[in-house]
Structure formats: C-alpha cells, structure tokens
Chain A
C-alpha cells in the first residue's frame, strides 16, 4: 500500500487532470468547428418547442408523480453500502474469516431490507 501523499502517488493523477483538460478542449473544438462552418438563419419558428408538429401547449416542465421514488430511497441506502464494499474487498484475503462473517451480516441486513420492500409490494408498480 502506498502512502497517500507519497511522491509517486499524486503524479499518477497528473494524467487524469490532463485528460480532463483534453476532454474539455475536444468539446470546445467540436463546437468551435461547428460554429465556423454552420449557417445561421434566425427564425422564430425554429426555436419553438417540438411537439409532433402542432403548436406546443403549455410548458415543458410540470409537476408530476414520480412513481419510482421508493426506488430512489432504496438506491440511496444500498449505494452508500456498496461503496463500503470496495475497501473491504481489498483486505478480505488478509483478514479472512472475520471479514467474511462481518460482510455476511452486512449483506444479510441488506437482503432482509430488500425482501421487506419486496413483500410490501413497493417493487412493482400498480
């Protein structure tokens, strides 16, 4: 395990920083070339919202029932737990059985939670 601020660690991420910059340059270049080559003919009709050819009715944004908000709750719970899996995955072999049992409890709690949500019927839309 290399120390976090060891001399060789952070420079490894220089490439990551560079590639982000390259990516931004690429996006800028693509849109820049487009700007140089494209025609520009202003027209109000072009800027209307597409609604299958008829004049748009009302606004494009509206309040609506998000039917899957329960999934969103479940996701937040599970995803936070899933992140803990990664550091655990690295040391599993060194710690051995104890780590396995602890993760068994952890996954067991998740599985019970999922089974509960399933029985409650929140996993199917009505």
Chain B
C-alpha cells in the first residue's frame, strides 16, 4: 500500500510542477518581453505587477464556449489538445531537479532509459499540433499542419544526435547519471551540441524564430486557427510546458543540472535557476529574431545543424576513447 501511496505522491508533485512552472514562464514572457519592447506588460490582475494575469486568463478560458467547426474531423479535432498536453507531463516525470536538502535526488522517477524516454515523449507532443492542423478542415490549419510536419522531421534528428553526444560522455542514459557525471570542461567540448540541442528544441516547440507553422501574418494561427476556449488554453499550456521541459533537459544534459556550490543541499535550487535562465533565453529569442521563412527553416536544419551535430558526435567519440 505504501508503495502505491509513494507513486501517487510522486505523480502529484510532478503534476504540481507541471501546473505552476509553465505559468511562471508565461508570466516571465509577459513581463520580460514587455520591458524589452519598452512596455510594462500586464499590471492590473492581482494588484502587484499583474502577477495573476495568467490565472485570470485561465478562469476566462474555462468559461468559454466550445466550438467545433462543422467541417472538422470531430474526434481528431477534439482530442488534439490532450495529445499535445499530456506528453509534456509524462516527460516531466523523468527529469531530475537534484539533491533536496541532503535527501537524495528530487525526481518523479529515475529511469535508466530517461533520456530516450523524455525525447520520445516530447515528439509525441508535436503530434497534437499536427492533429489539430490536419483535423480542423481549415486551409490555414492545413498549411500550418504541413509546416509542423516539415519542422518535426528536420529538427528531430539534430536534437537526437546532440542528446546522444551527452549520453556518450556520461556513459549512461539515466538523466540523474548524466547530470552526476558532469564536469565543467564538458561545457567547452559540448558547446556545439548545446547550441544544436537548444535551437532544435526551439524549432520542435515551434517557438519564434521557428514559428512558421503558426505565422500569424500569413496563417492566422496555423493549426490552432479553429481552436478557442479551453482547448486553446490546453495548447497554450502545452507550449509553455514544452519550454520548461526543453529548458530542464538542456540544463540536465549540458549545463550540469545541479552542479554548483552546496549542491548536496541546494541542488534543486540550482537546477531551477538554470531552467529559468534557459527559459529566459527562449523568450529572448522570440523578441530578438525575425521569423525564418519555411525553406530557410529546413535549410538551417540540414545544412547547419545536422553537420554540426555529426561533428559533435565525432568529437565526443574522440574525447571519450582517447
């Protein structure tokens, strides 16, 4: 019985993180983006600098009517937001936060296939957007869906290769093991891998500058055009949960996870700090760079990222063996 309770408790903690961290990143995006553009962002909701803006948004979304277009493939259309959302929750279960006041590593479950598992779960999330795009029966959504597919195919490969490079250095696929094995000089050796992983992750999440599938100036909202209310909110939550998962993976694979002073006690805080830092970069990229055109998206993947990632794998092999 106590085992079942233990599993339940782990799930609830992961669920708690899943429901709060994306909102924090979302609020950070509101405020950081606003200040980068010489605005102040939300100020009213909740009183203090609009801290409750996203909570208010959530309450609003929950009361919205649900509309399925007559032309849509009803089942696919209605299931898509769940398919987009749930995988990121599942991915979070295998991501470690690090030692918690000397109590061992804070993690949902340490899987010995952790890295593989998280990457697999993340790619399932993209299918949700694809389902939305092809199931809406809308021309904008359809074009957006095609672009999602192109992006998924191009960027999955460099991402997996860069992640494999981290696994090679550590000699394990367990995310706890990889972060534990971290040594500072990896930052130098793994730098190309880090860049490739982060950029490919951005593209996989369809975050600007890789938001050609959503491209509001051309495709209205791409695959999400026909969505409103709660289902749209689920896609939105999935997007920010995706940022958290990407930032956490980047942290654990390439930035040493909980490596830092007093890691035995405060490891979890270091990991969280690094996750927030990487999430900030994701937001910064949105403000700083213009959107890539569709053909540029694919060219960047195959002509720059894939060769870079292959070079990284070769370099890592040399480093590990010699």
Contact = CB atoms under 8 A, between A and B. Distances in A.
Interface of A: 2, 11-16, 18-20, 22-24, 26-27, 30-31, 33-35, 37-41, 44, 46-52, 56, 59-62, 64, 66, 68, 71-72, 74-75, 78-79, 82-83, 85-86, 89-90, 92-93, 96-97, 99-100, 103-104, 107, 110-111, 114, 117-118, 123-125
B171 A38 contact: no
Contacts of B168: 89, 92
A72 B115 CA distance: 24
13 contacts: A22-B89, A23-B89, A26-B86, A26-B89, A27-B82, A27-B86, A33-B62, A38-B62, A78-B157, A85-B164, A90-B172, A104-B317, A123-B302
Given A19-B93, A22-B89, A27-B82, A104 B314 contact: yes
Contact of B137 (A15, A59, A103): A59
B146 interface: yes
Most buried by A among B87, B136, B139, B220: B139
A64 B318 CA distance: 45
A23 B7 contact: no
A13 B111 contact: yes
Interface string B64-84: 111111110000000001100
B112 A37 contact: no
Contact of B314 (A13, A92, A107): A107
Nearest to B314: A107
A93 B320 CA distance: 7
In which size bucket is the chain B interface? Answer: 35 or more
Given A62-B142, A82-B157, A90-B173, A71 B302 contact: yes
Contacts, number: 211
B230 A12 contact: no
Query: Which secondary structure characterizes the binding site on chain B?
Result: helix
A47 to B, nearest CB: 4
B74 to A, nearest CB: 11
B204 interface: no
Contact of B321 (A37, A74, A79, A96): A96
B250 interface: no
B313 A15 contact: no
B179 interface: no
Contact of A47 (B61, B69, B111): B69
B130 interface: no
B313 A49 contact: no
Interface of B: 3, 7-8, 10-12, 14-15, 61-71, 81-82, 85-87, 89-90, 93-94, 108-112, 115-117, 134, 136-142, 146, 150, 153-154, 156-157, 160-161, 164, 167-168, 171-173, 220, 225-226, 229-231, 233-234, 295, 298-299, 302-303, 306-307, 310, 313-314, 317-318, 320-321
A86 B82 CA distance: 29
Given A38-B63, A50-B226, A64-B146, A100 B89 contact: no
A34 B231 CA distance: 9
Contacts of A46: 67
B111 A23 contact: no
A122 B297 CA distance: 14
A97 B299 CA distance: 34
A107 B310 contact: yes
A34 B108 contact: no
B196 to A, nearest CB: 13
A79 B142 contact: no
A74 B302 contact: yes
A38 B306 contact: no
B7 A47 contact: no
A84 to B, nearest CB: 10
A66 B143 CA distance: 10
